[in-house]
Amino acid sequence: MQFPFEPFKIKVVEPLKRTSREERDKVIREAGFNLFKVPADSILVDLLTDSGTSAMSDNQWAGIMLGDESYAGSKNFYHFEDAVRRIFGFRHIIPTHQGRTAENLLFSVVLKPGNIVPNNTHFDTTRANVIHKGGHAVDVLNRAGRDPNSVEPFKGNMDVEGLERLINEHGPENIPLVMLTITNNSAGGQPVSMQNVRETRAVCRKYGIPLFFDACRYAENCFFIKEREPELARKTVLELAQELFSYGDGCTMSAKKDGLVNIGGFLAMNSQEWATKATNLLILIEGFPTYGGLAGRDLEAMARGLEEVLNEDYLRFRIGQIRYLGEELDRAGVPIIKPTGGHAVYLNAREFLPHIPPSQFPGQALAVALYREAGIRSVEIGSLMFAEKDPQTGEVRYPDLELVRLAVPRRVYTSMHMNYVAESIISVFEKRDEIRGFRIVEETEYLRHFTAVLEEV
């Protein structure tokens, strides 16, 4: 079936509040035209992020009631450990309350100042954790991934030759590990092929460097592998995940994505030495090794979510829903990044609003217009988030792409909601000449997009 049919029925509902255009106009002005400052109950369809926003199943909620809140040795920990080991296969499993803590533990243990960490593309928190420990985070993305017009099937891949060059340039002794982010979030949620994982592993083995996965969207990635690597089409997504992780030495995981939970994560690895060090640090910053900053009930929900997410009817719906939204927009001529990835559709704001220069934040202008028009919250990924001022010349460097991301929470919105989103965006597209740019009135030194105050020019 082509139409993304929801493979679930709805037992609990959360009402949505409609607002008028006038109300939204007032709210967005009061928020300084910054969507991060808009209260969530003034939003109709919230596509800010797919992180921690999943709907849990009846099975997960039932698991919540079976939470064993013992300080040490909770039965939910053992279930969680079994679930992770069955899918990921790593020997040591360290629960954390979310992905960035797993990153913090890992890099605290393995990095020495001046070390290099290669990654197909670092996610923001991964990069920040590498830098925080004195390392250099280097992205080694393949060429297709850097080309917004390429329709290659695996635009998330590592540039394997580039990786080998980087290793030779800096010496393997200065590279404590190589990371592969699946799917490649910062490069549009594009998948990494099994072939690329094997080739990356071969280079890592050649130089004796461990390979770690940033595994947040492992199930979505493995579903793409099943669809797009013909020789693997007959394997189950679970078998593909098991094979993929067998090529690595460990992973970090934010279960707020493909764990189908609202909070949770883990660090897993085969090295006894690193695991011991990470566990000692865990006790210092998160909690005892059998709960790691979570309640027993959270561990149970995570164990069940990690298993449910491998259901192929669910994944067909999930990937199909994103693709459907992308196709509806594409058919109407709305510029999007193609092919659509696993968790979001990206609007190309530079092409959508060619009359607004990067200095006037076309991505933000589009995100604000979507909110005003339809109560849809998206996020700008463009010059508001990434423009950099050269410290010497004072000249501002703008990012290559001006995007607006529509990230779709898991199991939360129906295909009819997607129709509403598509129609609203098309109607904004038809009136695009009326949209004006913005200027910044107040900003902070770091991560200004979260708090900046803007005004319309």
Strand 45-46 relative to strand 376-377: parallel, antiparallel, unpaired? parallel
Full DSSP string of 302-335 = HHHHHHHTT-HHHHHHHHHHHHHHHHHHHHTT--
Contact 213, 270 (CB under 8 A): no
Of 201, 226, 256, 449, which lies in the binding site for ligand PLP, with binding defined by CB under 6 A?
256
Prior bond to 339 cis, omega within 30? yes
**Cβ distance 378 to 35 under 8 Å?**
yes
Give, as one character, the DSSP assignment of residue 338.
Answer: S
Query: Closest distance between ligand PLP and the C-beta of residue 111, in Å?
Result: 16
The size of the interface with ligand PLP (CB under 6 A), counted in residues, is: 15
98 binds ligand PLP (CB under 6 A): yes
Residue 262 near ligand PLP by CB under 6 A: no
Q: How far is 68 from 128, CA to CA, in rounded Å?
A: 34
Q: Is residue 181 near ligand PLP by the rule CB under 6 A?
A: yes
**Which parts of 41-60 interact with ligand PLP (CB under 6 A)?**
51
Closest distance of CB 363 from ligand PLP, Å: 19
33, 90, 107, 123: residue in contact with ligand PLP (rule CB under 6 A): 123
Please choose, out of 120-128, 193-201, 268-276, 290-298, the segment that lies near ligand PLP by the rule CB under 6 A.
120-128
Q: Does 265 bind ligand PLP (CB under 6 A)?
A: yes
Residue 265 Cβ vs ligand PLP, minimum distance, rounded to whole Å:
5
Q: Which of residues 215-254 bind ligand PLP (CB under 6 A)?
A: 216, 254
- Residue 99 binds ligand PLP (CB under 6 A): yes
**Interface with ligand PLP includes 100 (CB under 6 A)?**
yes
The span from the CA of 405 to the CA of 411, in Å, is 18
Residue with smaller CB distance to ligand PLP, 102 or 368 = 102
Q: Which residues contact 442 (CB under 8 A, 6 or more apart)?
A: 32, 451, 452, 453
Distance from the first to the final alpha carbon of the chain = 47
Structure tokens at 275: 């695991």
Q: Decide if residue 119 touches ligand PLP (CB under 6 A).
A: no
Torsions phi, psi for 190 (to 5 deg): -80, 145
CA-based torsion, 132, 136, 142, 143: positive or negative? positive
The burial of 414, by beta-carbon neighbours within 10 Å (0-12 exposed, 13-18 middle, 19 or more buried), is given as middle
We find the least distance from the C-beta atom of residue 185 to ligand PLP, in angstroms, to be 4
Q: How far apart are CA 63 and CA 65, in angstroms?
A: 5
Smallest distance from the beta carbon of 341 to ligand PLP, in angstroms?
12
Choice from 42, 57, 142, 185 touching ligand PLP (CB under 6 A): 185
Span from 14-22, 55-63, 93-101, 236-244 in contact with ligand PLP (CB under 6 A): 93-101
Is residue 298 close enough to count as binding ligand PLP by CB under 6 A?
no
Is 100 or 405 the residue whose CB approaches ligand PLP more closely? 100
Our CB check for ligand PLP shows the closer of 220 and 229 to be 220
Residue 285 CB, shortest distance to ligand PLP, in Å, is 14
Nearer to ligand PLP, 123 or 247 (CB): 123
**344 vs 428, which CB is nearer to ligand PLP?**
344
How far is Cα 14 from Cα 46, in angstroms, rounded to an integer? 13
Cβ(43)–Cβ(15) below 8 Å: no
**For ligand PLP, which is the closer residue by CB, 42 or 121?**
121
For residue 361 the two structure tokens come to 């934040």
Comparison of 105 and 374: residue with beta carbon closer to ligand PLP: 105
Sites of contact with ligand PLP (CB under 6 A): 51, 98-100, 123, 125-126, 181, 185, 214, 216, 254, 256-257, 265
